[in-house]
Amino acid sequence: MMFDQTIRPRRLRAGDPLRRMVRETRVSPDSLIYPVFLAEGNGIYREIPSLPGQYHYSPDELPRLTERLQAHGVSRVLLFGLPAQKDAEGSSAWAENGIVQQGIRRLRELMPSLYIVTDVCMCEYTSHGHCGILCGCEVDNDRTLERLAGIALSHAQAGADMVAPSDMMDGRVAAIRAKLDANGFQNVPILAYSAKYASSFYGPFRDAAGSAPSFGDRRAYQMDWHNAREAMRECELDVREGADILMIKPALAYLDLIHEARNRFDLPLAAYAVSGEYAMVKAAAAAGLIDEHGVMCESAIAVFRAGADILITYYACELADAMRAGEIG
């Protein structure tokens, strides 16, 4: 069979220098955010069983973290807190000396150049494990807004660079923006968990953060994973309320939504490669079923290729190394 051989796409695949020159998706370590779990107490540096290679850090053990970050050239973190005490209203979440507030101040001393983003939610701090104030067995959306705004303000006062509400309450971005602005923090951006699904991929995180609900589930406020149009509506609402960055969570099973959000909105777009995604790769690699490094790189590029500008990932250090080595990016 004869056919025109004038056009040969393989010409641009002939060698690594050429392939790297014509890559359509380019990434850098500046696009990575590393999730960190802070534990209240002293002398705590313990590996998280459900997340191999990830650790709980008490504030006095944070030099271990900053040494690792500096060794790999990672300069952005997302902080989660594990308090010593919990109550029905999660009051330690906005305490001046709460665990995240302690962690922010300690990290500022250890690594002044570190960019600190803080998770704003209540599930780690409430005795019932839900993301807000309860009215009976339901989360009271509007009562919760003031609490979330107070948490965000306390983080900003402690020195956070950015706050990231993950609760999925209606109106939380507007409430946080108003609270920050009224207290002189107009320049603290909000990274909104805009489309956060009620996903089965969160299991290891809930173990790591001690945040599993004591009854029921979170489907009344986290999104139904059957729905795509609703995700765009959530993103649009966050844009209107003053979000500076949008997020889709989880990442890999929701690439279609990352792509759709990229096409619809001009704000920077983040994706969170969540604990279950990380744990599955780790487990398959430990069983000898996959090339961990290769799958890590390919999965990350899939997220960026779909349209994300920022990737929150437990593989941030390893990906930063791969980017600098020219293996990706």
C-alpha distances (whole Å) from 56 to each of 14, 37, 62 are 46, 5, 10
Rounded distance between C-alpha atoms, residue 142 and residue 139, angstroms: 9
39 vs 57: CA distance, rounded Å: 6
Strands 245-249 and 191-196: parallel
Q: Cα(31)–Cα(310) distance, rounded to whole angstroms?
A: 5
* CA dist list (Å): 95 to 75, 130, 152, 180, 298: 26, 19, 11, 16, 41
Helices (H), the chain: 16-21, 62-72, 99-110, 141-158, 172-182, 203-209, 229-241, 255-264, 275-286, 292-306, 316-324
Strands of 7-110, DSSP E: 32-39, 45-48, 51-57, 76-82
Provide φ and ψ at 97, rounded to 5°: -110, 30
Active site (catalytic) residues = 196, 249
Return the exposure string of 75-104: e unless at least 16 CB atoms fall within 10 Å of the residue's CB, then b: bbbbbbbbbeebeebbbbbbbeebbbbbbb
Q: Amino acid identity of 43?
A: G
Tokens 């609703």 correspond to: 230
- According to DSSP, residue 139 is labeled E
What whole-number distance in Å separates Cα of residue 61 and Cα of residue 295?
31
Residue 300: other Cβ atoms inside 10 A: 29
